[in-house]
Amino acid sequence: MIKKADIFLLIFILIIGAVSTLLIYGHTNDGSDVEITVAGELYGVYDLDEDREIVIKQHGHRNKVIIKDGAVSMDFSDCRNQVCVNTGRISRSSQAITCLPNKVMVTVTGGDYDATTR
Amino acid sequence: MPQRGKELALCGILAALAMIFSYIEAVIPIPVPIPGIKLGLANLVIVIALYSLDLKHAMAINVTRILVIGIVITGVFAMLYSLAGGILSLLTMGLLKKTDKFSIVGVSMAGGVMHNVGQLIVAAIMVTDFKMFLYLPVLLAAGLITGILIGIASHILLTSLPKGLFGGDAVK
């Protein structure tokens, strides 16, 4: 049932996965800032160490972002799928929470992000 | 029954079946640890259609399913993602199947991966932010696993269903 080419394909996909994982997460550290974009445009930059709530209202959509104890999470979203809310808390540099229906993106930036390895 | 009529009826039945699977998944979410990921039961029907009919018919079934489910249940935005994922996935599967070097599990595996890649590309364009590709590793792994599961299920189904069911000669 399984052919040799299947195994090669599996290994190929696993390698792509491993390489992209390394490229993306390999040299990240705890971030220092939270960047929020709406439809690709910068909405605001916030300090990750400062506890606060940010309510994003746009085009009749509402999202609530909470920064607490050095981690950021999407507390509320009026979107249907709730993927963003279920993503949970993030704190490492270049991690992100995305709410596709409302086009809201929350990214952790800064920290000791190692630019030399890029 | 003439061949064309039979094919048409089969396409209709399979499209209906795929829609039911999509509906079931939309209504009863199967709990998976990572948000936004599902098994894609409807793809089982699409893989079966690809192997028992052909790429053209499978594509017709798939596009019909996505359009109807998109309008009735998931909404236009989700439909765009599904459309990109579904078409890219099925084209890849059709191509791999044509080479005759891969088993149904390998073909389905590639389909699962490309399904998620297609959705990711549309997501990146819609949000106009290529940071979306941060999700690539997770989506690759998810597509891989669901693709393999669907492939194994398709293999079991195709070998145990009666041979004349899809018009005879096509089923191997």
How far, in Å, are A84, A106, B4, B154, B164 from residue B161 at the CA level?
A: 41, 48, 22, 10, 9
Tell me if A3 and B102 make a contact (CB, 8 A cut-off).
yes
pLDDT in tens, A64-92: 999 988 889 999 999 888 888 988 888 88
Q: What is the pLDDT of residue B12?
A: 93
Band (B30; pLDDT cuts 50, 70, 90): low
Q: Among A3, A13, A86, select the one facing B140 at the smallest CB separation.
A: A13
φ/ψ bin of A40: left (φ > 0), alpha (ψ from -120 to 50), beta (otherwise)? left
Bridge partners for A35 per DSSP: A45, A107
Strand order in the sheet with A96-99: A41-47, A33-38, A104-109, A96-99
Question: Cβ distance B50 to B90 under 8 Å?
Answer: yes
Tell me if B134 and A96 make a contact (CB, 8 A cut-off).
yes
* CA neighbor of B156 nearest in space, from B68, B70, B44: B44
Tell me if B131 and A105 make a contact (CB, 8 A cut-off).
yes
Q: Is pLDDT above 80 for B59? A: yes
User: Is A81's Cβ below 8 Å from some Cβ in B?
Assistant: yes
Our CA-based measurement puts residue A42 at a distance from the nearest CA of chain B, in whole angstroms, of 11
User: Is A19's Cβ below 8 Å from some Cβ in B?
Assistant: no
Mean pLDDT of B28-46: 76
**What is the number of CB-based contacts under 8 A between chain A and chain B?**
85
pLDDT in tens, B73-92: 888 888 888 899 999 999 99
Residue with tokens 């490229």: A23
Q: What is the pLDDT of residue A82?
A: 85
